[in-house]
Structure 1
């Protein structure tokens, strides 16, 4: 029996995350559910959603504690489309974006069309550029950036995350979207455009 069976719905999400982190999801009793593709995919989506919600909640709980956020954030549209925007030092629009076969700018210009790789890439590029431009990031955001960097470096490719696939990467994109729009708890607000 999973730990989640003993908790309220809110606590169950935390228990599911801990099951994932501790590897308890693979113990006897869970094998049958994991063997069924749809059940396993649904469980992954729930875990990814629970993980994202827990990260946001933890940041909200800590938002009043510690150092105030510094800088401000801008959306992917600013970094991709606004004329005359110069990217922070060390970042080149024409540099290869991991193993995608596209440049950073080409990734930003490409429509997502349901591909979680591109959903995440768009938010990732904006988050990384905001950080390089001096915006602070709560630990939950930085953890997502680090996880996404590792995933992109692992050889992930365009088109492998279609039709609802890659729920963790979709959850990461949601966290980074909240960050670059200035609504993530404890993060800098959106920049005032002049």
Structure 2
């Protein structure tokens, strides 16, 4: 790797972490403006710097403990027959202030809406954690940031047409986690 790429990726990681913190207090528009500085594209996981961030996350794990449990995708949690959600989670409970239940959020097509793209991955990640899967601190930070963002009252439809790139980036991190490919996180469950 070229030295300039190394510094660019280091800067991207620092900016992403700053965006996680600053994006919590602002509106979706503010978070989007911050994210434009952080991310050149909205396909976070496909971004080479993102790959390095995830690799660094694995190398900087909080402990030398092996990952616990296994993870499942949003498809498993949303539409696989007979799947029982972990204790404390109800498919019919309201999903923040969306006006929809958790299952309704999962059933709704994303159609480019970053709110729904993130919500699908968020639900799967939260259920994976509740089912006993461990998560590296980077994944847990994204879950916490997404929880705060959903709690901020943002509405469906505010993040369409490429809007909310920071939240799209969070969805990419959670997608990698839910598919068992995030470094240092549990692998995908065998039974799916």
Give the TM-score normalised by structure 2: 0.80
The 3-state SS of whatever aligns with 1:151 is helix
Q: Does 1:43 align with 2:37?
A: yes
Please name the residue that 2:188 is paired with: 190
Q: Does 1:134 align with 2:132?
A: yes
Superposition deviation, residue 58 in structure 1: 1.9
**Superposition CA RMSD, Å:** 2.7
CA distance in 1, matches of 2:138, 2:35: 24
The 3-state SS of whatever aligns with 1:57 is helix
Please name the residue that 1:33 is paired with: none
Superposition deviation, residue 178 in structure 1: 0.4
CA distance in 2, matches of 1:164, 1:47: 10
| CA gap 1:151/1:19 in 2 versus in 1, 3 angstroms | closer
Superposition deviation, residue 14 in structure 1: 2.0
Aligned residues: 172
Q: Does 1:11 align with 2:7?
A: yes
* Structure showing greater Rg: 1
The 3-state SS of whatever aligns with 2:112 is coil
Superposition deviation, residue 54 in structure 1: 5.4
Superposition deviation, residue 43 in structure 1: 2.8
The 3-state SS of whatever aligns with 1:79 is helix
Give yes or no for contact 2:12–2:39 (8 Å, CA) kept in 1.
no
Larger mean CA deviation between 128-137 and 44-53 belongs to: 44-53
Superposition deviation, residue 156 in structure 1: 1.2
Which 4+ runs in 1 deviate beyond 4 A? 39-42, 47-54
> Which of 67, 70, 78 is 1:69 aligned to?
67
Q: What are the superposed Cα offsets for residues 138-161 of structure 1, whole Å, 9 maximum, x if unpaired?
A: 111000000000000001111111
CA distance in 2, matches of 1:47, 1:53: 14
| CA gap 1:154/1:138 in 2 versus in 1, 3 angstroms | same
The 3-state SS of whatever aligns with 2:64 is coil
Give the TM-score normalised by structure 1: 0.79
Superposition deviation, residue 19 in structure 1: 5.8
Any unmatched runs of 5+ in structure 1? 1-6, 23-38
CA distance in 1, matches of 2:186, 2:15: 32
The structure showing larger relative contact order (alpha-carbon pairs under 8 Å, at least 6 residues apart) is: 2
Q: What are the superposed Cα offsets for residues 106-130 of structure 1, whole Å, 9 maximum, x if unpaired?
A: 0000000000000000000000000
